[in-house]
């Protein structure tokens, strides 16, 4: 079954949103590097890599359905955050925005009676639960550490061990 034009456009938009997410997280990584938090920087660099994988999956799905992707302009991301917890809170807010977009895509697939696309999107629905939960647990740890510099140093070491999981 061919994708509807609305669905093809919406998937293209999400392909670009995932690239935008990667750009945002690379910017957060740059801020963490600048603030001598290499563990958080490495964590964010990995996160950006995952976002590129998310965008590639949309790319492949559009290709497989005889559609093509179009690259849109990516807005300049914020360059600096007041504190690590502020940055991760911004990441969580961004993930919630992406979750809403994915759910809107599922609603569109249902409206089109497009079972294949709804099934394809199921991976993203599950992934978003993990994305939000990971960001929330980092926020919890950062809030526990508070202004304790030794605690932040330890946490930075801990998050540096993150492995690619997408």
CB-nearer residue toward ligand FEO: 104 or 148: 104
What are the structure tokens assigned to 58, written together?
A: 């949309």
Q: In the bound complex, what is the minimum distance in angstroms from residue 98's beta carbon to ligand FEO?
A: 5
Residue nearest to ligand FEO (CB): 54
Taking the least distance from each CB to ligand FEO, the nearer of 54 and 89 is 54
Which residue, 43 or 152, is less far from ligand FEO as judged by CB? Answer: 43
Q: How far is the CB of 51 from ligand FEO (least distance, A)?
A: 5
Least distance CB 4 / ligand FEO (angstroms): 23
User: Which residues, 6+ apart, have CB-to-CB distance to 32 below 8 Å?
Assistant: 38, 40, 41, 44, 84, 87
Please tell me the distance from the alpha carbon of residue 138 to that of residue 88, in angstroms, as a whole number.
7
- Report, in Å, the least distance between residue 2 CB and ligand FEO: 26
Question: What are the distances in angstroms from CA 116 to CA 61, 155, 156?
Answer: 10, 42, 41
Scanning the structure block, which residue is given the tokens 């958080």?
40
Nearer to ligand FEO, 15 or 81 (CB): 15
| Least distance to ligand FEO, CB of residue 18, Å | 5
> Residue 127 to residues 84, 85, 114, 132, 163: CA-CA distances in angstroms?
23, 22, 21, 9, 16
Which positions touch ligand FEO (CB under 6 A)?
A: 18, 21, 51, 54, 95, 98, 131
Nearer CB in complex with ligand FEO: 57/141: 57
CA atoms within 13 A on the CB side of 116: 10
């Amino acid at each position: 079954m061919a994708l509807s034009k609305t669905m093809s456009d919406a998937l293209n938009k999400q392909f670009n949103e995932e690239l935008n997410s990667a750009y945002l997280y690379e910017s957060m990584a740059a801020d963490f590097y600048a603030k001598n938090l290499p563990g958080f920087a490495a964590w964010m660099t990995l996160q950006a890599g995952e976002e590129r994988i998310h965008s590639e999956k949309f790319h492949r799905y559009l290709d497989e359905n005889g559609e093509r992707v179009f690259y849109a302009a990516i807005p300049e991301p914020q360059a600096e955050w007041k504190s690590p917890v502020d940055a991760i809170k911004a990441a969580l807010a961004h993930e919630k925005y992406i979750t809403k977009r994915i759910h809107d895509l599922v609603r569109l697939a249902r409206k089109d009676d497009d079972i294949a696309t709804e099934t394809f999107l199921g991976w993203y629905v599950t992934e978003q639960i993990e994305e939000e939960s990971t960001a929330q647990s980092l926020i919890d740890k950062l809030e526990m550490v508070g202004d304790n510099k030794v605690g932040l140093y330890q946490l930075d070491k801990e998050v540096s061990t993150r492995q690619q999981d997408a």
